[in-house]
Amino acid sequence: MNELNPKIIKLTTDIDQDKPNALGNLKAFISESIGKKICVDCEKATEPNNYKKEIDRTEYFISGICEKCQPLYFGGKYNGH
């Protein structure tokens, strides 16, 4: 199984530690990644409009997590890259 992106770990740790603007920083990271069509976890380019399942596409536009990384977060077998 692959490790989580260290950027995500830091951003969520900052939230847990009640650091100023931590949630805003995470939201900005996710929004920027979605705008660039890259995954927030694996940081690879992705094309959500080509995803096989509508639910995976919808999730990408919420979380920025590509369809290959989503099982790592939401259960099931991690597909890896």
Q: What is the pLDDT along the chain (81 residues), one digit of tens a residue?
A: 467 899 999 999 999 999 999 999 999 999 999 999 999 999 999 999 999 999 999 999 999 999 999 988 887 654 444
pLDDT recorded at residue 3: 76
Ramachandran category for residue 44: left, alpha or beta (phi over 0 → left; psi -120 to 50 → alpha) = beta
pTM of the model: 0.83
pLDDT recorded at residue 12: 95
Within a domain: 69: yes
Within a domain: 80: no
- In the chain the first and final C-alpha atoms are separated, in Å, by 10
Owning domain of residue 34 = 6-74
Within a domain: 49: yes
Number of domains in the chain: 1
pLDDT recorded at residue 77: 55
Within a domain: 61: yes
Within a domain: 23: yes
Within a domain: 79: no
Can you give the length of the chain in residues?
81
